[in-house]
Amino acid sequence: MSESDPGLEKEAAQAGKVLPGERDIIALGIIAAALIMFVGHAAAAVPGVLRFIEGNGDGPAAYLASALLLNTALILFGWHRHNELMKEIRSRRKAEEQARELAFTDPLTGSLNRRSIGPEVDRLVAEAKNSGNEHAAVAFVMLDLDHFKQINDLNGHRAGDTLLVTMADRVRDVLPDAACLARLGGDEFACVIPYDGRDAASIDRVACAIISAARQPFEVAGGELAVSLSVGIACSSGLPEACESAAEEMLHMADMAMYHAKKNGRNRYDWFEPKMEHDLRSRAELENGILAGITRGEFVPFYEQQVDIATGELTGFEMLARWNSPNLGLVSPDRFIPVAEELGVIADLSEGVIAQALRDARDWDPRLTLAVNISPVQMRDPWFAQRLLKLMAEANFPPERLEIEITEMCLNENIGLVRSLVTSLKNQGVKVSLDDFGVGYATLAQLRALPFDRIKIDRQFISRLARSEDTASVVSTIASIGEGMNLPVTAEGIENESLRDSLRRIGTFKGQGYFYGRPETAEQVRARLRSEARLAVDGRERLALAGTDLRAAGA
């Protein structure tokens, strides 16, 4: 038996046996030689012994008795040494076996680990291929707990470990007999399941069973935890023809499917589709483009007019960010803001465009306000108010002309922190609007949670105004809430004259929308204001003033 036959070695270790090749040849040789010599000496000594018993002699010669004694000692010595060696081999084998187990299994959950699942997948895929059954297939099912970091942070790592162990047990319970489970690391598990490729529904059932097993409450750290997981599935029939490692390829495919499940709401499963790879690549390109775009200053402010609906008078502008991407053209914020939030660069991006907007708006008629949108993620930064005030100071922009627009999502953040940020800004004269009112679940109580200066009704209500009685009553209810709470209301998304007229009939609003004008660049706004004689300081004038200042300083 060779050293590299782990199967036999494992069997031997479990049975406490020593394999033939491992026996101690020297000890056995000594015992054999001693036995042969013993037999030879005993044979020579026996006649003397017999004569001695019959009373005819002095017994065997003294040298024969000594040789017999020496032989006995040798046999005992050889036997002892042999036993010692066998004992040592057994304990070494056990230690080796334990080390092997540790290398191939996950010590926490007892399932296979990342290293051992690969060969297992390759073996099962090869078995399916060589089975002669064209429908034999293998599914690679990848699981990842949703928000596990949060669970760990809130309940401690011990509770996290208990959760993982219980989760592994529950998953094992719903897996078919031929399947195996591995922990890939952290809160990520994989199951490999041989199945009939025509019966994908059997894998759907396993995925559903795993998801519902995870949804049962977990008793951890003296309390109950509600958990969910997301599942991605890859099938061996989707493997490319020329694929170096089935395991690696299936892991990659299942990973993409799992990411898709996470993106689409978690607590669900998705099968891998080739389109996912394309989407993921585009997403990576988008992320890299955004990161590079921030350093290259590709994010620019656009401005949308805000007017008094009753008089049509321009009262200010809302700044809306745009990405001037060299590859994608002009990209709308709905596409890049969520990605920048996830990448953790929203503050950099937002502060860059706000700084530019403050410089642009400084030259406008001082009665015109500037509204900027603030992401809930930015409201997690305790220094946010200071940073915004610093930007205003640097741009020499009066805080009374600035409005920040925050959405109801901010009310889900640490409300104490949000309130203190808003209060600091309000103390400096900045106004605060509640944007997109009506789309979320903000209650009247929540409306009072922050000292808002204005409510903005989401454009989906305004666009439906002409079509639905219900919407008209929602809009007039919001108008009365505003009136009751002494909060002026802005209507977004006014696209035509009839919507404007409906709003005029309902109440007093400020408004914005394509009817008044689409978002424009800083240059377009400047041209518009110049034509209306509403530029406080013209750019050329500013340069001239700066020149005068410099000359004065030089003199």
Residues in touch with ligand C2E (CB under 6 A): 304, 320-321, 332-334, 337, 350, 353, 373-375, 405, 435-436, 459, 492-495, 512-514, 519
CB of 482 to ligand C2E, least distance (A): 17
CB of 442 to ligand C2E, least distance (A): 15
CB of 489 to ligand C2E, least distance (A): 14
Does position 106 interact with Mg ion (CB under 5 A)? The reply is no
Which structure tokens are listed for 346?
């929203």
Q: Could you tell which of Mg ion, ligand C2E, none binds residue 353, using a CB distance below 5 to 8 A set by kind? A: ligand C2E
CB of 516 to ligand C2E, least distance (A): 8
CB of 399 to Mg ion, least distance (A): 19
Q: Could you tell which of ligand C2E, Mg ion, none binds residue 289, using a CB distance below 5 to 8 A set by kind? A: none
Q: Could you tell which of ligand C2E, Mg ion, none binds residue 18, using a CB distance below 5 to 8 A set by kind? A: none
Options 125-133, 175-183, 289-297, 402-410: segment touching Mg ion (CB under 5 A): 402-410
Q: Could you tell which of ligand C2E, Mg ion, none binds residue 514, using a CB distance below 5 to 8 A set by kind? A: ligand C2E
Distance of CA 512 to the CA centre of its chain: 38
Using CB under 5 A, pick the residue from 9, 255, 405, 408 that binds Mg ion. 405
Q: Which 362-381 residues touch Mg ion, going by CB under 5 A?
A: 373
Q: Could you tell which of Mg ion, ligand C2E, none binds residue 305, using a CB distance below 5 to 8 A set by kind? A: none
CB atoms within 10 A of CB 79: 15
Output the residue with the shortest Cβ distance to ligand C2E: 513
Q: Which 488-547 residues touch Mg ion, going by CB under 5 A?
A: 492
H runs (alpha helix) in 131-236: 148-155, 157-174, 200-215
Which structure tokens are listed for 535?
């530029």
CB of 216 to Mg ion, least distance (A): 41
d(CA 310, CA 275): 51
Using CB under 5 A, pick the residue from 24, 106, 146, 436 that binds Mg ion. 436
- Please report the beta strands in 25-71, taking only residues with DSSP state E, as ranges in sequence order: none
Three-state secondary-structure class, residue 55: coil
d(CA 12, CA 18): 6
d(CA 90, CA 93): 5
In the complex with Mg ion, the residue whose CB is nearer, 325 or 433, is 433
CB of 357 to ligand C2E, least distance (A): 9
d(CA 517, CA 526): 14
Q: Could you tell which of Mg ion, ligand C2E, none binds residue 251, using a CB distance below 5 to 8 A set by kind? A: none
Q: Could you tell which of ligand C2E, Mg ion, none binds residue 236, using a CB distance below 5 to 8 A set by kind? A: none
CB of 525 to ligand C2E, least distance (A): 14
Q: Are 140 and 176 in contact (CB under 8 A)?
A: no
d(CA 348, CA 337): 12
CB of 320 to ligand C2E, least distance (A): 4
In the complex with Mg ion, the residue whose CB is nearer, 363 or 408, is 408
Options 44-52, 76-84, 362-370, 428-436: segment touching Mg ion (CB under 5 A): 428-436
d(CA 527, CA 156): 59
In the complex with ligand C2E, the residue whose CB is nearer, 45 or 525, is 525
For 273, half-sphere exposure in the C-beta direction (CA atoms, 13 angstrom radius) is 7
Q: Are 502 and 526 in contact (CB under 8 A)?
A: no
Q: Could you tell which of ligand C2E, Mg ion, none binds residue 375, using a CB distance below 5 to 8 A set by kind? A: ligand C2E
The residues that bridge with 325 in the sheet, in sequence order, are 329
In the complex with ligand C2E, the residue whose CB is nearer, 272 or 384, is 384
Distance of CA 481 to the CA centre of its chain: 40
Distance of CA 60 to the CA centre of its chain: 89
d(CA 80, CA 18): 16
216-244 burial, b for 16+ CB within 10 Å, e for fewer?
Answer: eebebeeeebebebbbbbbbbeebeeeee
In the complex with ligand C2E, the residue whose CB is nearer, 79 or 516, is 516
In the complex with ligand C2E, the residue whose CB is nearer, 63 or 514, is 514
Instruction: Give the list of residues 6+ apart from residue 441 with CB closer than 8 angstroms, or none.
Output: 408
What amino acid is encoded at 290 in this protein? I
Options 33-41, 216-224, 399-407, 408-416: segment touching Mg ion (CB under 5 A): 399-407
CB of 213 to ligand C2E, least distance (A): 39
Instruction: Give the list of residues 6+ apart from residue 339 with CB closer than 8 angstroms, or none.
Output: 283, 286, 287, 290
In the complex with ligand C2E, the residue whose CB is nearer, 44 or 300, is 300
Using CB under 5 A, pick the residue from 34, 435, 437, 512 that binds Mg ion. 435
CB of 548 to Mg ion, least distance (A): 39
CB atoms within 10 A of CB 380: 15
Q: Are 432 and 422 in contact (CB under 8 A)?
A: yes
Question: Interface with Mg ion by CB under 5 A: which residues?
Answer: 373, 405, 435-436, 492
